[in-house]
Chains A and B, each alone.
Chain A
Amino acid sequence: MRALGAVIVAVSIVASVGRAGAQAGDAQAGKAAYEKKCALCHGDKGDGKGPAADLVDPRPRDFTTGIYKIRTAASKTPTDRDLFDVITRGMPGTFMPPWDVLPERDRGNLVAYLKTFAPDKFKEAPKKQELPKEVAASPESIKRGKEMYEAIECNKCHGAEGRADGPSRAELKDEWGFPIRPANLTKRWNFRGGGGRAEIAMRLATGVLGTPMPSFVDSVEKPDDIWHLANYIASLGPEAPNYATLLSAQAVKGNIPDDPDAEFWKRQVPQNIPLAGQVTIDPRNFNPSIDMVALRAAWSDTEVAFHVTWDDPTQSAADAAKKAPPDAVSLQFPQKIAEGAERPYFLMGNEADAVYLLRWENGKGATEATANGPTKIAPLAGSEATGKAVYANGQYRLVLKRPLASKGPDRPRFQPAVFLPVAFQAWDGGAGETGTKMSLTSWYYLRLEEPQSNRRFVVPPVVAVLTLAAMLLVVRVANRRA
């Protein structure tokens, strides 16, 4: 019993030492961890000019300025906890990964070391940013938040529906004069300081230092409006993208609607697919504009249709005079759908294996092509693909169709109940994306689901009724014998 008590005491001492370590780190020990884990981007001197800095967009933080985006402080200086949390959680939507793999003590030491890069800024203890008492999310609160969103003109940067397509977007620069993008408020999982309601309320109160995002704590009509705004912003999109792993296309009898805003498409659950910048071939795309597409798909006896939704803050068509490229998206399939797991190279195929591209371009419409690599794209003559797109408030919705039967050997056959390899590529012309400067995915699998007959609704009840009858019969026979 005494031994058990000693163990408990020992454990609690170790635990409290661990906590203290997280609070007051050792800068000297932090230096060692910094040089191993952080200096590659942030530089030996902490000036954000490490060897990899030029490949990283948004650029790594320059610690010598003491300017930190994510604070829970009313003053400019972040708290130790703020720095600790950024190290632990990383900066979603940027190259800064979460460092929760490091022991807590190392992260505490790193905090202490970071502060030594800007000792003047950390002389004064940070003042805590107080928030009004939390207001729970409710339809009334969200409604008030929307009113405030319009009154304080969040749309100027973040857009009317929050998709970062506001009119001031193109003018925004950070403290160092580099262009900076407003946050897409419908994608909370990319919020640098976290997408929870309390975190959103804190960002609204403190602003995001070093960026155009100002503090709104004294700039709403009533103090509670901070919470109403946070509730409204949280209502604009899901907390997580819940990316799909296997894609499916629904079987349809008769016509598949062409209109991207048709009820038919709204009823389908979107299958979200993450896109990454193309960084294998020059010119590379280190800060891609389009990071996700949402797919809905359907097929009938005669055609296959893909409904693709993606956010693009600027609607742009090709403009030869301005050398501006168009917005575009493409779906990629193997040209020949082989049995087994063999697929062409994911980046638009190679010399040996071609891919088939079902492509849509703003201003040009739908086309078909084959490719043996991203620089070897050959349009297919006699395209039967059709595309209809709408663009509104920073979002494209597109229906891209093709006959189900393949026309000649250059085009793949779409067969039901087969795992069909598919990949996606997207270009934001307004961001100068064209050619290899694109966002893309690796291969996914798409399955055209077989039509579901009514038998599944008929057979089980019939079986159930027959079973019941048989049981009753058995019971009756048994009773009679007795």
Chain B
Amino acid sequence: MAAALLASVALVVQRPGPVNAQGGGTVEVTVTYNGAPVIEKLKVNKDTEKCGTEAAIEKVVVGGNKGLANVVASVPTAKGAPRMVKATVDQHGCKFVPHVTAMMPGELELKNSDDILHNIHTYSTANSSINKAQPKFKKVMMEKFEKPEIIKLTCDVHSWMLGWLAVLPTPFFAVTDAGGAAKIENVPAGKQTVEVWHETLGKQTKEVDVKAGQTVKVSFEMKK
């Protein structure tokens, strides 16, 4: 699971940066957490060949050096051309993979690679919430999210399934990996505000001075 998470985060990081990248710098974000991981375990009573016999709801994932995973880091006010890369959430092993997905307003690809019924049920206010069945033969669905907001993803068939979709007004974002690190590239030079968001630990912001062609480091500490 950790490997899958890493891979998906890596995918986000490798995406091409915004087009007007000239004169941009890199922001390296590190997020740490001073508490213990919160992973709720639940016995599974159905679809065990796909879901396993025990489900884990990963609410706070803490890696090495207290690094906090699944944090959305972004520069909300920086403007840039939209990313052309498709955002994807896979329902795999009765989990949303990745657990946290960041995207710009547009279409999200929803995959069902489990060969069983899932229903994608979103909780949102700015966008209309969705509750659509995705039976085993419906491998891919496309859904539009046009307004920036953070949206909770659930599945009523498997109540432990929990995911988050951050629809952001900016192309400058990344999600922290298992070590709590995220790299935002080609951020326009100048004073910028970096925002980090975690599903249970909330939001923090910090000012950074981005210089063209250079890397600026910023660290956050989330508290209980």
Binding site for B on A (CB under 8 A): 75-76, 151-153, 156-157, 167-168, 171-173, 175, 207, 209, 212-216, 218-221
Contact = CB atoms under 8 A, between A and B. Distances in A.
Contacts of A219: 132-135, 138
A214 B121 contact: yes
Contact of A156 (B120, B134, B141, B157): B157
Contacts of B129: 76
A168 B156 contact: yes
Nearest to B135: A152
Contacts of A218: 132, 138, 141
A264 to B, nearest CB: 36
A214 B156 contact: yes
B116 interface: yes
Nearest to A170: B45
Contacts, number: 64
A153 B131 contact: no
B206 interface: no
Interface residues of B, number: 23
Given A172-B156, A212-B157, 20 more contacts: A76-B128, A76-B129, A151-B136, A152-B135, A153-B116, A153-B117, A156-B46, A167-B45, A168-B46, A168-B156, A168-B158, A171-B158, A175-B123, A212-B119, A212-B121, A213-B131, A214-B133, A218-B132, A219-B134, A219-B138
Interface string B115-154: 0110111010000110111111110010000000000000
Q: Secondary structure at chain A's binding surface: helix, strand, loop or mixed?
A: loop
A152 B157 contact: no
B37 to A, nearest CB: 24
Contacts of B158: 168, 171
A-B residue pairs, 10 tightest by C-beta: A212-B156, A171-B159, A153-B117, A167-B46, A214-B119, A219-B133, A152-B135, A214-B133, A214-B131, A156-B157
Contact of A157 (B120, B138, B157): B157
Contacts of A168: 46, 156-159
A436 to B, nearest CB: 31
Contact of A215 (B45, B116, B131, B137): B131
19 contacts: A75-B128, A151-B137, A152-B133, A153-B116, A153-B135, A157-B157, A168-B158, A168-B159, A171-B156, A171-B158, A171-B159, A172-B159, A175-B123, A207-B131, A212-B119, A212-B121, A214-B133, A214-B156, A215-B133
Nearest to A210: B131
Contacts of B131: 207, 209, 212-215
A356 to B, nearest CB: 40
A216 B120 CA distance: 11
Interface centre among B46, B128, B131, B132 (most CB of A within 10 A): B131
B132 A214 contact: yes
B91 to A, nearest CB: 13
A151 B138 CA distance: 11
